Structure 1
Amino acid sequence: MIYPLQAKLYLYFCDMYALTGCSGKLGGAVLNAILNFGLIPADQLVICTSSNPSDPQWDSVKSQGSQVRQSNYDDQPSMQSAFSGVTKLALVSSPRISMDFNNAPHGQGREKHHFAAIDAARKAGVDHVYYLSLAFGSDSKAGVMRAHNRTEAYLYGLKDIKFTVIREGLYNESWPLYFGNYFKLKDDDRKEVVVAGDGPINWTPIRDLGYTTALVVADSSSKYEGKTFNLSAPTATTLAEIAEIVSEVKGTKQIIKLILDTGEEAQPSMADQRDKTLAVEKV
């Protein structure tokens, strides 16, 4: 039997872990991996959510001993309160992608949320922040990377808190997005799909990203402190290859052309004249 005083001393000497974004795909995968594989005791977990902590979706984790606290990116005091007593924070990036639109100036994109969360963690006495970034190339000009790059730079400039940057690979489950959801539309009879490029991508299942991220966060050593690294599957696949695979699975007799977007509107009559046009056939 553990008496109340013993329980308090146990928690005092143990790390407390806060997880954000647990109702999302990546954060949810991290939480599931931690609980399913017993990587961190449930009573050492604090689930930070912008939803109502009393929502039934949290009943299962609370029944296992985890705490659920209110936390909102737009309310720094709420984050500081949620992070109270926490030693390690796994910070999932803000889902409000609209903040990055129109070339948002520094501090006004999603990094505004990230800066606020990191500063709240510092004020709350958090020892280590694990920032879940995105595994695009470091020199990527993609708008989606801007907030991540700014957040990483912010962490590297801090001296009063430990950090680890985990760059998550592109979700395996997100591939339809890069075809304009072409393969999800039953009545779509397009023969051409405009894409931004067709370089190979290390598509990685969300479940695998969640498990590996959980292993890093749960590691009690200092080997990940101050480090930035990528998590992704070992093999890469192009959109052209995916189009071929999906066409085979669907059993459709069609020709799909992937038109590489060169900055001008793609014209069907010009498709065969482009050096960068890729043809994927299913016969």
Structure 2
Amino acid sequence: MVMAKNYFENGEIHRETYEAYGRNLLILNKAIENYQRAIKLDPNNFLYHYQLGYSYHLMRRLMEASSEYEVVLKLDLPLMPSEADVKLVHKFAPRLFANIKEYFKLKDLVAVIHPKRSIIAYNLFWEDDIDYPGDNDPSDHEVVWIEFDKKKEKVTGVYTYFHKAILSTEEAVKDANLHNQRARINVEWGEHGSLPLSWEKLHPEAIFEKIGKRIRIKDMTERYRELNKSIKNPHHPLAQDWPKRFTGSYKDFTNFSKYIELRRLL
């Protein structure tokens, strides 16, 4: 199994290099080759299958990705939630606020409770991403994580996914504690990056631990400037009826007043 682990680690390094330094398919193919070799030596390791599936997903080879995800679910069967689990998921469901001009609908929500730690991942599935009409993805997948004290049933951490960066603030935790343990999450127009309370003070970075690299991520001001000019693929056939740019000021861009009740989707 040592050799399998070595192949897997090599795959991780190649995948992170691909994500950190640009979309070089030769590098991602190297990751896939290493994951496949690891699986050949340790076929029942669900993590190896998951990362192979994720790499296929990055290449938009969705059929192959789905096959690997199915293997993962067979090797690591999801547990049916207990009544207590359902109550926890409802209790800590965030308060979601989209931009008042948001074009896409939130299609679905999937909550996943960590098997060992007191963390719930709320997986948000939007209809699409304004910049990627032709990426062959069936939805735009975003994530919010809520960490909590199980005994006190209080939120202790709020984490959001924002364009490869993980954002977190103390203010978001305090706000959740003041609102029945439901954190406020703001959602960027069109691209759906998730923002915790007091996001304005943050400097988003993507962290790639395997290769020891930090990448600066465009902040909301920069994203506004780009989207105010034009979306990336305004003439794509699938974007025919989409807004071609964000019309309005930066104040309008950060107007998160469209409330979406997540509990109705649970």
TM-score bracket for the superposition, by shorter chain length: under 0.3
Q: TM-score under structure 2 normalisation?
A: 0.28
Q: Mark the structure with the bigger radius of gyration.
A: 1
Q: TM-score under structure 1 normalisation?
A: 0.27
